[in-house]
Structure 1
Amino acid sequence: VAENIRKGLPEIEAALPPGVEIETAFDSSTYVKRSIRETLQTLGIAAILVVIIIFLALRNVRATLIPGLAIPVSIISAFAVMFFLGFSINTFTLLALILAIGLVVDDAIVVLENAYRHQEELVEDPTAAARDGTREIAFAVIATTVSLVAVFSPLAFLQGTTGRLFNEFGVALAGAVIVSSFVALSFTPMLCARILRVPKSHGPVFQTFERGFEGLATGYNTALAWALRHRWIIIGGAVGALVVAVVTFRALEREFVPDEDRGWFLSFIQAPEGSTVEFTDQYQRRVEAILAETEDVDLYFSIVGGFVPVNQGLVFSMLTDWSERDRSTQDVIGELFPQYFGIPGVQAFAFAPSPIGGFGKPVQFVVQHPNFDSLIGGMERFRSRAGAIPGLINLDIDLKVNKPELTVSYQRDRAEDLGVSVEAIGATLETMLGGRRVSTFTRDNKLYDVVVQMRPEERATPSDMSGLYVRGREGGLINLDQVATVAEDIGPSALLHYNRVRSYTLDASLTPELVLGEAIDSLRAAAAEVLPPGSSNSLAGESRELEDSGTALYFAFVLALIVVYMVLAAQFESLIHPFTVLMAVPLAVSGALVTLFVMKSTLNLYSQIGMILLIGLASKNSILLVEYANQLKAKGLASIEAVLEAGRIRLRPILMTSVATIAGASPIALGLSAGSESRIPLGLVIVGGVLVSTVLTLFLVPVVYVLLDALQAKLSRRTETPSLAQTVEA
């Protein structure tokens, strides 16, 4: 849209009168284009990191090429899915594809590693190794894909702002994962049969890495054997991790979305009620003078009146390019705050609107009371109490009880004696002061209104109303003072309602030290202290979105767990093994919460979405272990021997896929693109959750598998024993 406007500007400018110029005063597309361009660069960086990780793990160019080709095939196919669904290329769909890079190679890595093992350990020819290795691992690939898609499915049904933001995110990510599973089960085996070869001898670098991995595998096998002998210690450690998660969850601060440096901010000016445009403009120019002297402010444009009342003004300020400044938007606003505060006569403050959209402040706290007098009676007390909350700045209440007004009181008895009606008094005031259209006339084929009204200088002060006259019973003129009194007073500029109840809204900005969730909790505590009985409160704007999104995402998390459990139960044809697989999820969530706490991040929209994604990401490793242990048990191995062998065989693909996922999410966690500050928590959740769950899952899942298998065997023996006894008796 912005590009089309720029193309049309020369034609519009040519039609303007001489001396009139068009300049770009504000352009939000600058941030959008910069963000998308740098997100695409992040996409490339993630792909390169993943390929490097694969090469370091395999130390073979041919082997690296096979899963490496899964990246462009899956990502391009995901673009095709987005095209047919009518999605656009935006920061959320690109964010999904960045995460997808670490996921689409997972299935290809698992298939490749198994085919390579069949060539190296079982000494099969490439074609047979590709066929048998893929057949052996196909169930695990399908199970991981279906579980990931099942996790994303609740995201597609979220409502409100959260749903609008992440519908395309979930669908794009699920589309890429589905395509990657087809690639892993068709394209990857073909490449393994054609180009994958196990060298007869390896170089010193390969041997060094291989000895290191063999040492790691031996150490893991020894540690796993110890864990299986001391199962309840491992279970206790898992319970301890859950306790840490609960404590950390309570300690983390909550907000809707973190602040973003979008390269612009707003300045708001509020003059006293009843101020003229000229008065407001006089003080707004002082704000403009401050902005003109502020470093890193590139340009600004100012509005007085217009779509806001005449006693209010707005200034849109654009900052210089991100590459040309070291300060963020919040740093610039912090510099302006004391200067604006020093302007007498008006209230002026600067703030950066919410990254999600809109121009409101983050804190919007609504107070309601059915009685208007009680409502305004506690308003100033609440405002003073809210002003004492540290970190809450630029407080304002939309209900202004300071608008000058004139109250005309009708003296009924005297007016009745003189024959003056209320209607006559009202019509006189309306005509003389407000103006009334009494007729029309036509001139040069144009219709004009005839409006009767006193001259401005004759109605400038309230005392001028004493010079008005009305007609009495016999047509005589009677002075307005004889039948009515006029009193000066103040009243509300508007009567506001929220859910059909009289209300006002306190809005405020936040300093970096205070997050939105803590601010809302503090305001609720203050409201309980000072508001009169019968008052209620609610939230609006970004504050409401924080509350609604939290509830919706917690519901989506639980729903995703249930859906994944049902999908895995159908695939494994068991109610026990899905529970074993999902034991990795609490560990992943624990790791994610601890990572957020250590990095001083918050629980917000992005980090909660990351928690939902962790259900599928953490389940992948468990599925690889449990599925192969089931295969070995079917061949006659006992449970302990089966999980020991499954751990040895599946250690390499688990580590490779986990490190690839971490590498794909690392650019997001590092915040490498413009305005990426808000998306950093999502990257931290994935990196921390996958890292911790990978390490702990390698021990907890085998232990739980053995315990549940023993419990299942005991229950089976109990059900078989009565049946056998009944048969002998018969």
Structure 2
Amino acid sequence: MKLVNESVKRPVGVIMIVAAILGLGFVSLRSLTIDLFPDIELPIAVVSTSYEGAAPQEVEKLVSRPIESAVSSLEGLEVLQSRSQAGASLVMMQFNTGVNLDNTLLEVREKVDSVTSVLPEGAGEPSVLRFNPQQLPIMTIGLSGDTPEDLQQLAENRLVPLFERQEGVASVTIEGGRTREVQVMIDRAKMAQYGLNSQTIIQALNSSNQSASAGNIQKGQKDLQIRISGEYESIEDVRETIIQTPNGTSLTLDQIAEVEENFAKSNTISEVNGTPAVVLSFLKKTDSNTVETADQIHAAMEEARSELPEGVNLEVVLDTSEFVKTSINSVVKNIIIGGIISVFVLLLFLKSIRATLVIGISIPIAIISTFTLMYFTGETLNVLTMGGLALGIGMMVDSSIVILESIYSYRQRGYSMVEASKLGASELAPAVIASATTTLVVFLPIIFVEGIASELFTPLALTVSFALIASLAVSVTLVPMLSSKLLTKTIASSGRRYWFDRFLEKVNDAYRGLLRKVLQYRKTTVLATGISVAIGFALIPLIGTEFIPPSDQGQVQISVNMSEGTGVETTQEFTNQVDDHLKEFSDVIEVSYLTIGGGGFGGGAGNSSSDFASYTIQLVDPGERGQSTKAVTEDINEALQGIAGADIAVSEMEAGLGIGAPLQIQLNGPEYEVLDQLSRQVVYLMEDVEGISEPTSSTDEGRPEMQINVNDQKAAQYGLSDQQVINQIQLAFSGQIATRYREGGNEIDVRLILPKEERQTIADLEGMSVQTPSGSVIPLATIADLQQVQGPVSLLREGQQPQVNVEAEVVGRDLGSTTEAVRAQLDSLNFPEGYSYSIGGQAEDMREAFGDLALALVFSIFLVYAVMAVQFENFLFPLIIMFSLPATIVGVSGGLFITGLPFSLPAFVGIIMLAGIVVNNAIVLVDYINILRRNSYDRREAILEAGPNRLRPILMTTLTTVLGMLPLALGIGQGAEAQQPLAVTIIFGLTVSSFFTLILIPVVYTYFDDLSSKITGFFKRQED
């Protein structure tokens, strides 16, 4: 080949190019973004709207449904879901893959803007956002040591502005503090006495808290601006607000109301290590580096600590960058270990440090070149891309090994170093290129399929492809050039490693003898292979399936669900008992973060209510505790189950992708009441399924509520409408913000509300005074009936139809078989007409991803055949080589069965990679058989000569690939769980397939050669 000859002739040019690539690679490495997983860009948009004080039913009717109707006609919309809970609405839209989400978001905003005017008064401005399953806080810090209100002000005024200035920080949220407000507690009796109503007071407060400009006046040669300052500056100004009565009398606000500075009502409490704290959570920008952003936050914390008041502490609660760094470091160690093992294998076979150096140098060059290509294609350094490098560490030297073996064979025949390098590399370069190309093309379908599987594994596929392209370029340029300079001696036949040569000779003799046997008993060989493949398929049901292996990041989550409606004080009393039990684990717990009533929107029923508490526990490093996170989780769970009064769930937090519950049953139909009954039946059936843990329905326990049914006729007699009654009740019990003013840099709300002692009990509600338009006061019970009922916690809809979800964890059993067992139970239910179910969660994601990858596998196999057909310029020989593929199922299923790993997404990607790897040995073998036959060898002689002759490079390439992946297969270090099934699949699949290749491919070659001879003979006879 011309490229080989040029590289041998111009070694200085090759060295300069390599040096330039290495320099660019090191620069690129410093610029690459580091993260845990690749960014997943799913075509999902969400519309979030607040509606303070509204029950789920009102939120659904007045907010969620209008927004659903507006966006339902958008082009490309696949799934439309909404979740309505007290005070908030979330509408989610999932579009077809391939939709330009940036343009679609503009359309969504236009549609939402068109219905904003019909949303109820009090509803917030709808917020349209791009959904990112990984957009979770990268760091959480706790501020403690002072009163919650002082900590809140410190966080708002000093810390948040400081942190938000840091590079990479998108936003900072505060939880656990208390906010001051001025409460105007009105006296209804006095208001009635003066003929006043709440709207009059609100108008007076607004008009008295105003500033305005009134033009300019001249003073000498200057213009002075006229500014009227009438804004409130203190609570005294609020008290002295002038109120005009209908009869013209003026009075101050404090004559008809008690004005006090108090704290806004809060159902949220945060504690860090048992101490009340204000917690700050950080979101990073989409394109920023997790590790660098966390480092910036740490630096800002050091700066902030020097300015904090005495006694106030600032400490890290959770830092995901630590797990990212640990995971990446683990993979880097695996790469180094794999590289050392590969070099050791080369040294063992080649018995020459110089020869080993020639091949071993391709590893760092390929890796560093890969960093350059990753940078220019926008990939990030994450567990999967770095894992791709670790997986390819042994494959990187395959091409170089084959080239070097050929060069050595020419050296042993007496050729000079330069001639041997040219001839040896040129002879096998086409086969090497074909082998590398078959490995590369299998990744194309992964890149072009749709869904989460492509989003996750495209970066891995690109990384491995880049590494293989770089190693191929090295094998046909740098290896011949270095061989022409360094291989001054041929392989010695004696020395310290002579024992290995004798061992290889025995292996060769044994293989030659086995080859004679299989060629003699061809049918038996094919039958034995078929039986082995059948056994491999039979093992598949025993393996089980899962979506993505969970990663152990040393975190435990405890969820405490009190009975619905429980007050925050009662919940805190219960968590104090939990705290006492957690003290038993102080030696393994590094940080414990408790939030009551927190957790944000959408994480589960009741998760933002005072009856819900959540602990996030960070354990000490694995080396300091001597137990796995799973074991610690089980111990904590056992210790807490003895506490009565709440449902406590202890689970291991997994470093994952925010992909939801493992198993979710979605029930759809026209009526919530029927769906509620169906969900209870589903929960009952699922409880008997092995592997199902804690099935819960989204309607399991309703929230107790007092339902007020206004009698329209009675209300009309007093001149009242429903809305007027609703407004007065809301004002009395939740209050209304009338105005706000600034004091000392803080913005303070002025809230109109009833005195606390008048809004505590049911009797207070029943006896509440309602003011009529005429100024008279009547009890609420006069015009309304009050009834205590169980209201829903949240209301779900999909496709503009009611939906109820049943979710469950899967424990001690694989997800696939558990899903099928649940499906069998559901099929036994008689669903009423118009009602149906579907299975979602990770089970649905797994089914879709497996379907996409199955399609990718079919296309990969076709592309491998097409590449070989082009390379060989023949349709028959590639078909022979393809017979090495079926035997991989024996290794894959056997390997997963032996290691106890379920069949998962990474394992499926491993099978696709195998489709391109396992044929390489067969290509080398068949290609050499053809070369010998062209040199006048008999078919049998060619096979018996080619097999043992190619056994050495086949063993070398297989061992370097297999042993290079061994550290990943053993799951060494944190974060290796995602690559472990992939490595196990390739190791066992390649090992078993290599054995079958060596014995089956020669037999298949003879059968196809016989068939070809018969066909050729037939056509010759026809011509005669």
Q: TM-score range by the shorter chain?
A: over 0.9
Report the 3-state secondary structure (helix = DSSP H, G, I; strand = E; otherwise coil) of the residue aligned with 1:502. Answer: strand
Describe the superposition over 1:570-594 as per-residue Cα deviations: whole angstroms up to 9, x where unpaired.
1111222222112112112321111
For 1:347 and 1:480, the matched residues in 2 are separated by: 38
Counterpart of 2:392 in structure 1 is 100
The answer as to 2:634 corresponding to 1:334 is yes
Assess, with a 3 A threshold, how the Cα gap between structure 1 residues 342 and 527 changes in structure 2: closer, same or farther: farther
Report the 3-state secondary structure (helix = DSSP H, G, I; strand = E; otherwise coil) of the residue aligned with 1:514. Answer: coil
Report the 3-state secondary structure (helix = DSSP H, G, I; strand = E; otherwise coil) of the residue aligned with 2:657. Answer: coil
> Any conservation in 2 of the 1:300–1:316 contact (CA below 8 Å)?
yes
Structure 1 residue 176, shift from structure 2 partner = 1.0
> Any conservation in 1 of the 2:408–2:490 contact (CA below 8 Å)?
no
Structure 1 residue 137, shift from structure 2 partner = 0.8
Describe the superposition over 1:278-311 as per-residue Cα deviations: whole angstroms up to 9, x where unpaired.
2222222322332232142222111112333222
The answer as to 2:387 corresponding to 1:88 is no
The answer as to 2:821 corresponding to 1:522 is yes
Describe the superposition over 1:347-370 as per-residue Cα deviations: whole angstroms up to 9, x where unpaired.
111212343233854333333333
> Any conservation in 2 of the 1:106–1:657 contact (CA below 8 Å)?
yes
Counterpart of 1:553 in structure 2 is 853
Assess, with a 3 A threshold, how the Cα gap between structure 1 residues 678 and 287 changes in structure 2: closer, same or farther: farther
> Any conservation in 1 of the 2:703–2:791 contact (CA below 8 Å)?
yes
Structure 1 residue 561, shift from structure 2 partner = 0.8
Higher share of residues assigned strand: 2
Structure 1 residue 188, shift from structure 2 partner = 1.1
Counterpart of 2:946 in structure 1 is 646
Counterpart of 1:132 in structure 2 is 423
Counterpart of 1:51 in structure 2 is 343
For 2:747 and 2:365, the matched residues in 1 are separated by: 68
Assess, with a 3 A threshold, how the Cα gap between structure 1 residues 673 and 515 changes in structure 2: closer, same or farther: same
Counterpart of 1:376 in structure 2 is 676
Mean Cα deviation higher: 372-381 or 285-294 = 285-294
Question: 1:181 is matched with which residue: 462, 472, 484?
Answer: 472
> Any conservation in 2 of the 1:269–1:347 contact (CA below 8 Å)?
yes
> Any conservation in 1 of the 2:588–2:625 contact (CA below 8 Å)?
yes
> Any conservation in 1 of the 2:659–2:841 contact (CA below 8 Å)?
no
For 1:167 and 1:112, the matched residues in 2 are separated by: 32
**Correspondence 1:624-663 to 2 at 5 A:** 624-663=924-963
Which structure 1 segments of 5+ residues have no match?
726-730
Structure 1 residue 10, shift from structure 2 partner = 1.7
Question: 1:343 is matched with which residue: 638, 643, 665?
Answer: 643
Question: 2:325 is matched with which residue: 28, 33, 36?
Answer: 33
The TM-score, its normalising length taken from structure 1, stands at 0.92
Question: 2:517 is matched with which residue: 219, 226, 236?
Answer: 226
Assess, with a 3 A threshold, how the Cα gap between structure 1 residues 594 and 409 changes in structure 2: closer, same or farther: same
Mean Cα deviation higher: 478-487 or 666-675 = 478-487
> Any conservation in 2 of the 1:322–1:674 contact (CA below 8 Å)?
no
> Any conservation in 2 of the 1:354–1:542 contact (CA below 8 Å)?
no
Which structure 2 segments of 5+ residues have no match?
1-292, 601-607
Mean Cα deviation higher: 654-663 or 470-479 = 470-479
> Any conservation in 2 of the 1:46–1:98 contact (CA below 8 Å)?
yes
Amino acid at match of 2:923: I
Structure 1 residue 254, shift from structure 2 partner = 0.6
Mean Cα deviation higher: 98-107 or 300-309 = 300-309
Question: 2:794 is matched with which residue: 484, 487, 494?
Answer: 494
* Alignment length (residue pairs): 721
Counterpart of 1:170 in structure 2 is 461
Question: 1:594 is matched with which residue: 894, 897, 906?
Answer: 894
Amino acid at match of 1:218: D
For 1:508 and 1:594, the matched residues in 2 are separated by: 30
Mean Cα deviation higher: 600-609 or 502-511 = 502-511
Report the 3-state secondary structure (helix = DSSP H, G, I; strand = E; otherwise coil) of the residue aligned with 2:941. Answer: helix
> Any conservation in 1 of the 2:384–2:460 contact (CA below 8 Å)?
yes
Question: 1:296 is matched with which residue: 572, 575, 588?
Answer: 588
Structure 1 residue 707, shift from structure 2 partner = 1.2
For 2:547 and 2:441, the matched residues in 1 are separated by: 25
Amino acid at match of 1:203: S
For 1:405 and 1:484, the matched residues in 2 are separated by: 16
For 1:415 and 1:568, the matched residues in 2 are separated by: 85
**Correspondence 1:240-255 to 2 at 5 A:** 240-255=531-546
Amino acid at match of 1:565: Y
Assess, with a 3 A threshold, how the Cα gap between structure 1 residues 466 and 204 changes in structure 2: closer, same or farther: closer
The answer as to 2:828 corresponding to 1:537 is no
> Any conservation in 2 of the 1:378–1:530 contact (CA below 8 Å)?
no
> Any conservation in 2 of the 1:639–1:709 contact (CA below 8 Å)?
no
Counterpart of 2:307 in structure 1 is 15
For 1:240 and 1:331, the matched residues in 2 are separated by: 41
Assess, with a 3 A threshold, how the Cα gap between structure 1 residues 667 and 279 changes in structure 2: closer, same or farther: same
Describe the superposition over 1:122-154 as per-residue Cα deviations: whole angstroms up to 9, x where unpaired.
332332222222122111101011111101222
Assess, with a 3 A threshold, how the Cα gap between structure 1 residues 592 and 462 changes in structure 2: closer, same or farther: same
Structure 1 residue 482, shift from structure 2 partner = 3.8
Assess, with a 3 A threshold, how the Cα gap between structure 1 residues 464 and 717 changes in structure 2: closer, same or farther: same
Counterpart of 2:242 in structure 1 is none
Report the 3-state secondary structure (helix = DSSP H, G, I; strand = E; otherwise coil) of the residue aligned with 1:503. Answer: strand
Q: Identity across aligned pairs (percent)?
A: 29
> Any conservation in 2 of the 1:353–1:359 contact (CA below 8 Å)?
no
Report the 3-state secondary structure (helix = DSSP H, G, I; strand = E; otherwise coil) of the residue aligned with 2:318. Answer: coil
Report the 3-state secondary structure (helix = DSSP H, G, I; strand = E; otherwise coil) of the residue aligned with 1:357. Answer: coil
The answer as to 2:526 corresponding to 1:235 is yes
Report the 3-state secondary structure (helix = DSSP H, G, I; strand = E; otherwise coil) of the residue aligned with 2:795. Answer: coil
> Any conservation in 1 of the 2:668–2:835 contact (CA below 8 Å)?
yes
Assess, with a 3 A threshold, how the Cα gap between structure 1 residues 713 and 13 changes in structure 2: closer, same or farther: same
For 2:702 and 2:801, the matched residues in 1 are separated by: 21
**Correspondence 1:48-447 to 2 at 5 A:** 48-120=340-412, 122-199=413-490, 202-294=493-585, 295-306=587-598, 307=600, 308-358=608-658, 360-411=660-711, 421-436=721-736
> Any conservation in 2 of the 1:116–1:198 contact (CA below 8 Å)?
no
The TM-score, its normalising length taken from structure 2, stands at 0.67
Amino acid at match of 1:384: Y
Amino acid at match of 2:822: L
Structure 1 residue 444, shift from structure 2 partner = 8.2
Mean Cα deviation higher: 629-638 or 250-259 = 629-638
Amino acid at match of 1:213: L
Assess, with a 3 A threshold, how the Cα gap between structure 1 residues 134 and 454 changes in structure 2: closer, same or farther: same
The answer as to 2:334 corresponding to 1:42 is yes
The answer as to 2:999 corresponding to 1:707 is no
For 1:411 and 1:263, the matched residues in 2 are separated by: 58
Assess, with a 3 A threshold, how the Cα gap between structure 1 residues 338 and 443 changes in structure 2: closer, same or farther: closer
For 2:456 and 2:776, the matched residues in 1 are separated by: 71
Structure 1 residue 543, shift from structure 2 partner = 3.2
Describe the superposition over 1:25-48 as per-residue Cα deviations: whole angstroms up to 9, x where unpaired.
111222221122222111111111
Report the 3-state secondary structure (helix = DSSP H, G, I; strand = E; otherwise coil) of the residue aligned with 1:23. Answer: strand
Assess, with a 3 A threshold, how the Cα gap between structure 1 residues 451 and 316 changes in structure 2: closer, same or farther: closer
> Cα RMSD (Å) of the superposition?
2.6
Assess, with a 3 A threshold, how the Cα gap between structure 1 residues 411 and 85 changes in structure 2: closer, same or farther: closer
Report the 3-state secondary structure (helix = DSSP H, G, I; strand = E; otherwise coil) of the residue aligned with 1:342. Answer: coil
Mean Cα deviation higher: 303-312 or 525-534 = 525-534
Counterpart of 1:728 in structure 2 is none
